[in-house]
Structure 1
Amino acid sequence: MNKTVLITGASSGIGLNFSHKFAGSGHDVILVARSEEKLLALSQEITNKYEVKAHVFISDLSKSQATKKLYDEIKAQGIRVDILINNAGFGLFGEFEETELSKELDMIQVNITALTELSKYIGKDMVSRKSGRILNVASTAAFQPGPLMAVYYATKGYVLSFSEALANEWGGPRGESDRSVPRCHQNRFQ
């Protein structure tokens, strides 16, 4: 039985590359993004090319309750998530006083809240069965302030700090703990 990888933001960019990389190495994938057309095409391509299962879940993670609904739908289908890749995210460029607050709040929802919620829901499952991996995609933006992209840089700083804390709690790349629980990584492909 193949391990299953959940990838948010799977329809383009790094998420698309993760989808192919994991499917190519024999993992079933759960593809999550807003674009139904792109995800269905990707699912078909992955299924044909790699002969693995490619589950599609259309979800706009900028919406409140989207992550809980996604988690509940995955559980209802009896799919076990062995690896979670929190990749979905976006940025916004401009003078802080001129950018739209609604877009910045959506960014916080996707880049921070959805990532935290999925890590909580799926991480608890992983801890209870004592296996799993979580990869949270941050950015070099996490290491410095970002004028003209202040909220984006701040969200990526959160992702880095949060991921390092979980890596410490659950054991990770900087040293193994005695607990046999999920490994949490940031900016690292395993």
Structure 2
Amino acid sequence: MTSPTALVTGATAGIGRSFAHQLAEAGHDLVLVARDRARLEDEASELSARHGVTVEVLQADLADRDQLRRVEARLADPDRPVDLLVNNAGFGLKGRFLDNPVDAETEMLDVLVTAVMRLSHAALGAMAARRSGGIINVSSVAAFLPRGTYSAAKAWVNQFGEWAAAEYRPRGLTVTTLCPGFTKTEFHERMDVSRGSAPDFMWLEADDLVRQALKDHARGKVFSIPGKQYKVIIAATRLVPNRLVQPLQTLGRK
């Protein structure tokens, strides 16, 4: 029997890197997608040597439609099936909406929404034909909070994932939406957001939340919410009007 194959976007750092390492440890062959070829090749070498799996690298900027199509084609290839898609690639803007160039806002939506939709479409088509496979979409606690265009983009991911989970479950597919909060990764560092921007107890470890997400996906869960503190926050947003949760609006970027 051949090993299952997982394709992970944003695979060279943070949550994506943890997914790649934990999936390789579990025996998955990998397709790693990111913009930096040197980091991709370094990760591929390490994973192959450590776990004895086959690792393919696919350099792509998901905001570029032509490069995105290459990833779509890999997912749709019937001769090289992908069993699990992890839509993890991230994008964040530190400034407020009117302080950001509109092109930067559009690029964020291209990565967080358009790429997730197009890659899911390619993967689900191939998986539905085989009647097996799954997707983990990395969203955010921000999806439950009134927090500008980042929050709106992640809310789309949540709605899409919840619908897709119900739509394709009868065909043997599992779609899980992972909603982390503050996580100790490069994501905040690239945005110049310090660890002091939130209390210590709000920060999650990437390896822990990925481990939980994989367990939740295996159990067929629609949402994976890591951390009791974030389960409480999400429960509160469903009970309290948005105007009263505005003070929490800085939480939830992965």
Q: In the alignment, what sits opposite 1:90?
A: 91
Normalising by the residue count of structure 1, what TM-score does the alignment of the two structures yield?
A: 0.90
User: Equivalents in 2 of 1:20, 1:96: separation in Å?
Assistant: 35
- Residue 89 (structure 1) shift: 1.6
- Residue 114 (structure 1) shift: 0.5
Q: In the alignment, what sits opposite 1:180?
A: 171
Question: What secondary structure, in the 3-state scheme, does the structure 2 residue paired with 1:160 have?
Answer: helix
User: Equivalents in 1 of 2:52, 2:158: separation in Å?
Assistant: 34
Judge which range, 94-103 or 55-64, deviates more: 94-103
- Residue 77 (structure 1) shift: 9.5
Q: In the alignment, what sits opposite 1:159?
A: 157
Query: CA RMSD of the aligned region, Å?
Result: 1.5
Letter in 2 for 1:63: D
Q: In the alignment, what sits opposite 1:132?
A: 133
The 1:73/1:123 distance shift into structure 2, 3 A limit, reads closer
The 1:75/1:125 distance shift into structure 2, 3 A limit, reads closer
1:1-190 residue pairs with structure 2 within 5 A? 1-73=2-74, 78-146=79-147, 150-171=148-169, 179-187=170-178, 188-189=213-214, 190=217
Letter in 1 for 2:174: R
Q: In the alignment, what sits opposite 1:174?
A: none
Structure 2: 5+ residue runs without aligned partners?
179-212, 218-254
User: Equivalents in 1 of 2:74, 2:156: separation in Å?
Assistant: 27
Amino-acid identity (%)? 35
Question: What secondary structure, in the 3-state scheme, does the structure 2 residue paired with 1:91 have?
Answer: coil
User: Equivalents in 2 of 1:27, 1:103: separation in Å?
Assistant: 35
- Residue 73 (structure 1) shift: 4.6
Deviations 1:44-95 (A, max 9, x none): 0000000000100000001123322222256569421000000012111212
Normalising by the residue count of structure 2, what TM-score does the alignment of the two structures yield?
A: 0.68
Question: What secondary structure, in the 3-state scheme, does the structure 2 residue paired with 1:141 have?
Answer: helix
Bigger CA radius of gyration: 2
User: Equivalents in 2 of 1:75, 1:119: separation in Å?
Assistant: 10
Question: What secondary structure, in the 3-state scheme, does the structure 2 residue paired with 1:89 have?
Answer: coil
- Residue 103 (structure 1) shift: 1.1
Deviations 1:18-50 (A, max 9, x none): 000000010001000001000000000000000
8 Å CA contact retained: 2:76, 2:123: no
Higher-helix-fraction structure? 2
Q: In the alignment, what sits opposite 2:209?
A: none
Report the count of equivalent residues. Answer: 180
Question: What secondary structure, in the 3-state scheme, does the structure 2 residue paired with 1:46 have?
Answer: helix
The 1:59/1:152 distance shift into structure 2, 3 A limit, reads same
Letter in 2 for 1:153: S
User: Equivalents in 2 of 1:59, 1:112: separation in Å?
Assistant: 16
